[in-house]
Chain A
Amino acid sequence: MNEELDSQLSAMFDDELPAAECELLARRLSRDEQLKARWGRYAVIGATIRAERGVRLNAGLAGRVSAAISSEAPLAAEPASQPKKRWDIGWWQPLAGVAAAAGVAAVSIIWMRSQVLPDAMPAVVQTVVPAIAIDNRTDHRTANTPVAATVASATTRGNTGESDSYVVPKNAPRRLVVPSTELANYVVAHSEFSSPVTRRNLLSSFMASESGTAGMSAVSEEPTEDVQDDAKIPQ
């Protein structure tokens, strides 16, 4: 046998042969039974030097594996294409998730705003009125509660102060209007899967609306006569 070939085989066994030479030798090794036998003896030498006790050096294991595999269909995979395929499948999935999450968030925010802030509602109603404050004060003044307070006091039954619903605790703080700052916080807190661009757009729109609301709040901070007359909340 060619000494150079054997030298290459020894180096290949130790993973010390250049890749190009490995390719050529691997082809020959898979077909040349003599070379394969020598390769197998190299493995026996190594096992003996490592004193692998209990391991049979003539177990016939390779022969049994070879026989078992010979009945199987040859593999015909294209290994190089597999990672690309996986990448192709995988890249759009997070984006689709982000798009879906952003869409749901945007729709729900628009819906909430349209529910809470109807165009016809006067600006003064947008003032945040904590329900707990109203609850303590509506026992005797239910009839005169302003619009916001009326909604909040719906959780009480008449003058008894009993809870009308077991779902909403009597003293649970409720807000009739969610300010844009809180909406922005909500979006940030739940934007784990949204894209930065979508998030920035939403936040920008909140900030824009916040500045508008701030203007309205400034107006509402000066109580109108209606509020003063209708609310009659003792100071």
Chain B
Amino acid sequence: MTEETTPIGSIHVSPKAIATIAFHAALLSYGVVGLAPKNFVNGLTNAVVKDPTHGIEVHYDGQDINIDIYIVVEYGTRIKTVAISVGETVRFQVEKALGMPLNEVNVHVQNLRVSDTD
């Protein structure tokens, strides 16, 4: 539970709420065609999940907020660049919505989706 104390009381933001922001930010990033659960094993691209808590993990240890994102990237894009922009977009959107800094945003590319082979 992420929290902040104000003069009139505390504000609690649940990890799931943060995950939802990150989820939408990630899906708006170019090159990301879906999120995948962490323990996604083989190339089951159809198993792309719609529930954000499966593809996004929010960790809060009482001090730092860390986010892990598990994504599926379009084959034929520069994976590194896509991963960087996902990380930046998620960090920006979450920090903007939350008003608190994030410590780490880790992007894990779980799979590629092949729409066209070259």
The answer to whether A and B come from one shared complex is no
B interface, CB within 8 angstroms of A: none
